[in-house]
Amino acid sequence: MTDRFQEFRSRGIPVHELSNQLWCEKQLDLKLTTDIQPEVTEEIEKGKDKHQELQEELVEVVEVSPRTFEDSYYLRMYNALNGLRTLFDEGKIREVPVFGRLNSFFIQGSIDEVCLNEGKTFVLENKTRRSSSMPSQAQLRCNKFQVQVYWKILSDLRDGKIGYKDLEEFYGFDSDNLTQDFLEELDSKTEGEFEPVSLEKLGELVFEGFSKIPPLSKSLKLRYFSQETGKIIGEKEFKFDREEFGEKLDFVSEYWSGEREAVPVGEKNEWKCNYCDFTSACDQYEGNVDD
């Protein structure tokens, strides 16, 4: 059976794809294996706008154009270091890039919000909704797993379970591919406040910064915003459950390692198909199944 990690996500699995597996794994599989392009809805665009708005409340977003893979990772490292400095100075940061390794798979993403309070580090995810009500249990299940993944990655970063050398070995960074044009543009956009260093040095500074954050609180929070008004609909707080998290992580990992095929939604959750862009290619969709 196909090792999907090597075939489709050899440079790291985005955190949101792990949580999407709990919504409908078949949908994710079709996204990876077909040419169908999901519709970019107004709902998605509003969600992106809200995340950027929240991020810009705390830090100026630097827009630079990477020329190479090394450039793009340098920018991620820069944003992570800038975020950590803001966290230590202001006690809060949003959209901080993180890097992790779970069940032997490299994972990457950006945590919506990290804040410091009473000697603890708290992890929070912000979600936008078209509806003015709180999400269904099915959606909450995905969102809870997503914030748990971020908590585990950040906890591992703090504890030194992954470091820059791990990333360097995995990605095989070539320092010669870090372009001068990119560094000059970054220097210009930051108005000289950031002195360019090597990718290795920048990476070491980032992982050193993660090691200095206070212990993580096991209290996690999901916050839901109305897309129409921008106001908070409600919040969901829960504790990090290591056993529950481990079971879900093992389940999603089996798909990436090729141990099993994608699992479609069950009969009780077929309503999710009404919101799917891949039904035309899905052999499990009711309209495509022969009687």
pLDDT digits 0-9 by tens, 252-266: 999 999 999 999 999
Give the position of tokens 């479609």: 264
Query: How is domain 4-288 classified at the architecture level of CATH?
Result: Alpha-Beta Complex (3.90)
Lowest mean pLDDT among 39-53, 113-127, 137-151: 39-53
Distance from C-alpha of 278 to C-alpha of 275, rounded to nearest angstrom: 9
Structure tokens at 177: 């591919």
Question: Which residues touch 171 (CB under 8 Å, ≥6 apart)?
Answer: 11, 69, 73
Pairing, β 219-226 against β 105-117 = unpaired
Query: Is the pLDDT confidence value at 14 over 90?
Result: yes
Angle between helix axes 69-90 and 180-189 (nearest 10 degrees) is 30
- Round the CA-based radius of gyration of the chain to a whole number and report it: 20
pLDDT digits 0-9 by tens, 189-229: 887 778 889 999 999 999 999 999 999 999 999 999 998 88
Backbone angles phi, psi at 172, to 5 degrees: 65, 45
- Contact yes or no for 123/151 (Cβ under 8 A): yes
Long-range CB pairs of 281-284 (<8 Å, 24+ gap) are 281/30, 281/34, 281/36, 282/26, 282/27, 282/30, 284/26
Confidence (pTM) = 0.91
The 3-state DSSP class for residue 288 equals helix
The 3-state DSSP class for residue 216 equals strand
More confident site: 152 or 266: 152
pLDDT digits 0-9 by tens, 52-103: 665 555 566 678 999 999 999 999 999 999 999 999 999 999 999 999 999 9
pLDDT digits 0-9 by tens, 224-263: 999 888 899 999 999 999 999 999 999 999 999 999 999 9
Distance from C-alpha of 111 to C-alpha of 153, rounded to nearest angstrom: 10
For every residue of 127-180, DSSP letters joined together read EEESSSSPPPHHHHHHHHHHHHHHHHHHHHHHTTSS-HHHHHHHHT--GGGS-H
Distance of CA 109 to the CA centre of its chain: 3
What's the pLDDT score for residue 253? Answer: 98
Query: Is the pLDDT confidence value at 291 over 60?
Result: no
- Contact yes or no for 210/198 (Cβ under 8 A): no
Distance from C-alpha of 40 to C-alpha of 45, rounded to nearest angstrom: 7
What's the pLDDT score for residue 62? Answer: 76
